Each structure stands twice: as C-alpha cells, then as structure tokens.
Amino acid sequence: MMKDLIMNFYRTLAAAAFALASLSAVEAEGLKPIQSQAIDLGGLSGVAYYTVESDGFHVVATLAQEGEDGAPVRVKSVLAPGQSVTFSTPRGAGAQAEAVEISRWNDHVLVHKTALSN
C-alpha cells in the first residue's frame, strides 16, 4: 500500500515536471512565490517552488529518479539576497554534471541550467 502511494506520488510529480518543462523555453526564468518550476537533471527530475518568510525565501525542491521505485527526496533551503542553491547529478568521467541553480537577487528568484565540472 505504501509502495502504491509512493508510485502514485512519483507519477504525479513526473507528469507535473514534464508539463512544466514543456512550457518553459527560456534559459533562466523568474519565479513567483508558490509558482512551481520543473527541474530536469537527466535521470533525476522534479519541481521547485519558494515561499516568502520573515527569515528569507524558503526554496523547496522535490526530486525523484526516473523509472525507479524509490521514494522522492525533498530538499529545503532558505535564501537571503545574493544566495543560491545548486542541484546536480554527476555524469561519466570527463563529462560536465547536469546542474540547475536557483538563485535569489533582491526580491527575484531565478532558475537556470548551469555548468559544473565533476
């Protein structure tokens, strides 16, 4: 029963991620509070959003490995102006990692693909 619940959650998450990914053609996009943004890291994908709190912007990302039965991972980070958080997955030797950076500039949050070396 728990496995079915996790699989249903993963399918819903994947469908939302693919739907949002098809809507975004811009390299760096600005988010509004609670607006979700797809994250695609190759075999790992999910969605991210943020809320405005008194101690900063709370960024929440939920990621799951495609085609796996494992539970999704939820990561939360609090960003002050000028701060960022990067999500990445390693690639083969000598290849650049798949990476997405979520950054806060004053009252704006941007999501964009970025290059990282292994």
Domain spans of the chain, in order of start? 2-116
Encode the chain (118 residues) as per-residue pLDDT tens digits: 545 545 554 455 444 444 444 333 334 557 788 889 999 888 889 999 999 999 999 999 999 988 877 789 999 999 999 999 999 888 778 778 889 999 999 999 999 988 775 5
Q: What is the pLDDT of residue 22?
A: 36
What pLDDT, on the 0 to 100 scale, is given for residue 24? 37
| DSSP H or E run through 4 | helix 2-23
Q: Please name the residues in contact with 43: beta carbons below 8 A apart, sequence gap of 6 or more.
A: 65, 66, 67, 89
Nearest CA-CA partner of 39 in 31, 30, 48, 49? 48
State the pLDDT at residue 23. 35
pLDDT reported for residue 92? 78
